[in-house]
Amino acid sequence: MSCRTNTRGHSKCAISRVSHNRDYDLNSVTGAVPDNGGVPHSCLLVQFAEAVLGEDEEALAGARAALRAAIGPAGLVDAAGVVGLFNAIDRIADATGIPLEAEKSAASADFRAALGLDRFDVAARR
């Protein structure tokens, strides 16, 4: 993983996926950069995740149909699994105040700072 600042002043935090040999700009998940961060169909994936966690059934149906058309039924199932598991795991960790392990904290400090993720640290606010 690497983080660096580009010419527009945005920190670029990239994770290389060995299986695909690609760089992903994690700033795309916060909306800090206008592109997809190297993730195919990222806008559809974000719309789907937000719709799953929202309360608008029409938005969910539309997001689900658009994502299925773009990545197929198996891709939709994978995306739904990721949204569901992340939502559950994140809520459990927040509710119980599980701290980030020291080694993971050290390894992720650069991109957490660049993305402003530490502001979500529930345990530190208690």
User: What stretch of H or E contains 61?
Assistant: helix 57-96
Q: What is the pLDDT of residue 101?
A: 81
Q: What is the pLDDT of residue 125?
A: 54
Q: What is the pTM of this model?
A: 0.60
pLDDT at 13 over 50: no
Q: What is the pLDDT of residue 108?
A: 85
**CB–CB of 3/12 below 8 Å?**
yes
Average pLDDT over residues 76-96: 85
Sign of the CA dihedral running 73, 78, 82, 88: positive
Q: What is the pLDDT of residue 2?
A: 37
Strands (E), 1-126: 2-5, 11-17, 22-25
The mean of the pLDDT values for the chain is 76
Q: What is the pLDDT of residue 116?
A: 83
Q: What is the pLDDT of residues 76-85, one digit of tens each?
A: 999 999 998 8
Q: What is the pLDDT of residues 35-62, one digit of tens each?
A: 677 778 888 998 999 999 899 999 999 9
Domain boundaries of the chain, sorted by first residue: 2-125
Q: Dihedral angle at the C-alpha atoms of 102, 105, 109, 114, nearest 10 degrees?
A: -160
Separation CA 108–CA 42 (nearest Å): 22
Choose among 88, 81, 55: nearest CA to 67: 81
